[in-house]
Amino acid sequence: MSKIKTAFFCQNCGYESVKWVGQCPSCGQWNTFVEELIQKDSKKNDNGWSDYHPGTRNSRTISLSQIKSNEDRRLLTSDSELNRVLGGGVIPGSLVLVAGEPGIGKSTLFLQNGLLLKDVTVLYISGEESEQQIKMRADRLQSYSLTGNTENFYLLTETSTQVIFQEIKKLKPQLVIVDSIQTLQTTFIDSSPGSVSQIRECAAEFQRFAKETGTPVFLIGHITKDGSIAGPKILEHMVDTVLQFEGDRHYAYRVLRTLKNRFGSTAELGIYEMTDQGMRAVLNPSEILITQKEDQLSGIAIAATIEGLRPLLIEVQALVTQSVYGTPQRTVSGFDLRRLQSLLAVLEKRGGFHFGIKDVFLNIAGGIKVEDPSTDLAVLCALLSSYEDTPLPHHICFAGEVGLSGEIRAVNRIEQRVAEAEKLGFEKIIVSKYNPKGLSRQKTGIEMLAMGRVEEVYKYLF
Ligand SMILES: [Zn+2]
């Protein structure tokens, strides 16, 4: 017989405790512990995935040279952005978590990719939508109606892992997509779907399935903006790859970012445009992220950044106005607020600008979030341009990190940034004078202006 047992789980990070505690010892959050029923079944191995191939798993020592590399068996999807973030295609037997806020387009992206995989049996498991809803969604995807895979694409609307694995045994799919992990439940655990213990156990069953059969599995998981809903966070260490799908719901652009990858680089990035016919991979993102207007406006500067492994030109917009209230406001979108505050402090202290009595608004165009510190210089110039109410010169862009003493620091992979700026028709790029000089002697169509301090940049621009 089974023994009923309860435990307390931190809903933020999944930390398990036998008694309730106010503050999580693992992640430090307050009031995150919730009691969940766990039914400890002694016949655990008869549940879920494990009864599929009893005894076929041979755990024994093996010479490294006998192990076949999975590299050459990567499954290439028709989505070049997805292949890129996965490190060059889907590895057999890999468990991939796709995390993102609800409604951002995770289901659309993976439904679309499943439909576009020709000659591969795909099983799409949905615990959220009915067959009719998914069919309607699929019909809307233009790519599907053009090159659709209707014979090899199977749909299962089910939330019980027991039923799911029975179906999997019959179908033997070559790729499984689960939408979403929060809706699944296993009978082994008694708590409700979406609770920490359920999510963890269901994911563990899919992990065993993936490893034993070599079938890649994509688990879709929802997070909220502050990451407070249990789920993806606690799965991060269980899966091979974590992809984060992000973007502002009000913008068309979406970024698929690799947060963890056992089979490739974590510095990868895919960019999509959400259209009414599905997600369209954006192959040349710089062109759409910059508004190319002929009349110059103040407060706009272009940064030559590297996002992931590729160069990306983005538009930084700043608005500096007289502060109406006692405390000046600082509002940012797509950029780190503390980074902005330190840049304002540099301008105040080193340049003598009085931002202390100004409201400052900063926005990265397109709803993109930037992490590259080389954006600093463009942010600073956008701020100055709005402060002075003077547009920056035509066709100029920036790549430099700004230090606290006002020095412009060198940034990595400057060649790529310069090449991208040149490709997009920029005539000048301001970089740090500490970046290697060799490049400026190359015959390029773009003029490189190497500067060492913020004051020099100011003098040049205004
Ligand atoms: Zn915690």
- How far does residue 409's CA lie from ligand 1's centre (Å)? 38
- How far does residue 15's CA lie from ligand 1's centre (Å)? 5
- How far does residue 246's CA lie from ligand 1's centre (Å)? 23
In this model, does residue 359 exceed pLDDT 80?
Answer: yes
List Cβ neighbours of 155 (8 Å cut-off, separation of 6 or more). 123, 124, 126, 131, 134, 135
Closest CA to 92 of 259, 172, 210: 210
Q: How confident is the model at residue 251 (pLDDT cuts 50, 70, 90)?
A: confident
- How far does residue 241's CA lie from ligand 1's centre (Å)? 22
CB 450 within 8 A of CB 431: yes
- How far does residue 264's CA lie from ligand 1's centre (Å)? 29
Q: Residue 273 corresponds to which tokens in the numbers above?
A: 């445009």
- How far does residue 12's CA lie from ligand 1's centre (Å)? 5
In this structure, which residues have their CB less than 5 angstroms from ion ligand 1?
A: 10, 12-13, 15, 24, 26-27
In this model, does residue 49 exceed pLDDT 50?
Answer: yes
Q: What percent of the chain has pLDDT over 90?
A: 37
Segment 146-173 shows an average pLDDT of 87
For Cα atoms 88, 367, 227, give the angle at the middle one, nearest 5 degrees: 75
- How far does residue 257's CA lie from ligand 1's centre (Å)? 24
- How far does residue 228's CA lie from ligand 1's centre (Å)? 10
- Count of CB atoms situated within 10 Å of the CB of 32: 23
In this model, does residue 224 exceed pLDDT 80?
Answer: no
- How far does residue 192's CA lie from ligand 1's centre (Å)? 19
- How far does residue 158's CA lie from ligand 1's centre (Å)? 30
Q: Which of left, alpha, beta for 287 (phi over 0: left; psi -120 to 50: alpha)?
A: alpha
Between 225 and 96, the more confident residue is 96
In this model, does residue 264 exceed pLDDT 50?
Answer: yes
- Count of CB atoms situated within 10 Å of the CB of 111: 27
- How far does residue 20's CA lie from ligand 1's centre (Å)? 12
- How far does residue 28's CA lie from ligand 1's centre (Å)? 6
Token pair 């020592």 is at which residue? 61
Q: What percent of the chain has pLDDT over 70?
A: 88
Query: What's the CA gap between 228 and 230, in Å, rounded?
Result: 6
- How far does residue 169's CA lie from ligand 1's centre (Å)? 36
- How far does residue 11's CA lie from ligand 1's centre (Å)? 7
Full DSSP string of 246-274: E--TTSSEEEEEEEEETTS-S--EEEEEE
Average per-residue pLDDT for the chain: 84
Of 107-116, 335-344, 375-384, 428-437, the range with the lowest mean pLDDT is 428-437
- How far does residue 316's CA lie from ligand 1's centre (Å)? 36
Segment 418-446 shows an average pLDDT of 78
Q: Residue 392 corresponds to which tokens in the numbers above?
A: 């920056």
**pLDDT value at residue 176:** 96
Segment 297-308 shows an average pLDDT of 89
DSSP β-bridge partners for residue 300: 317
DSSP β-bridge partners for residue 325: none
- How far does residue 182's CA lie from ligand 1's centre (Å)? 18
In this model, does residue 347 exceed pLDDT 80?
Answer: yes
- How far does residue 294's CA lie from ligand 1's centre (Å)? 52
- How far does residue 34's CA lie from ligand 1's centre (Å)? 11
CB 342 within 8 A of CB 436: no
Helix (H) or strand (E) holding 442: none
Q: Residue 68 corresponds to which tokens in the numbers above?
A: 């076949």
- How far does residue 196's CA lie from ligand 1's centre (Å)? 11
- How far does residue 35's CA lie from ligand 1's centre (Å)? 14
Closest CA to 270 of 231, 241, 292, 234: 241
- How far does residue 360's CA lie from ligand 1's centre (Å)? 35
Query: What's the CA gap between 373 and 296, in Å, rounded?
Result: 25
- How far does residue 98's CA lie from ligand 1's centre (Å)? 21
**pLDDT value at residue 148:** 63
Of 188-197, 222-231, 232-241, the range with the lowest mean pLDDT is 222-231
Full DSSP string of 221-234: EE--TT--SSSHHH
Q: How confident is the model at residue 42 (pLDDT cuts 50, 70, 90)?
A: very low
- How far does residue 161's CA lie from ligand 1's centre (Å)? 26
Query: What's the CA gap between 338 and 346, in Å, rounded?
Result: 12
pLDDT tens per residue, range 102-111: 888 999 999 9
**pLDDT value at residue 195:** 82
- How far does residue 108's CA lie from ligand 1's centre (Å)? 31
Segment 296-317 shows an average pLDDT of 87
Global pTM reads 0.75
- How far does residue 68's CA lie from ligand 1's centre (Å)? 39
**pLDDT value at residue 368:** 80
CB 393 within 8 A of CB 385: no
Q: How confident is the model at residue 55 (pLDDT cuts 50, 70, 90)?
A: very low
**pLDDT value at residue 11:** 79
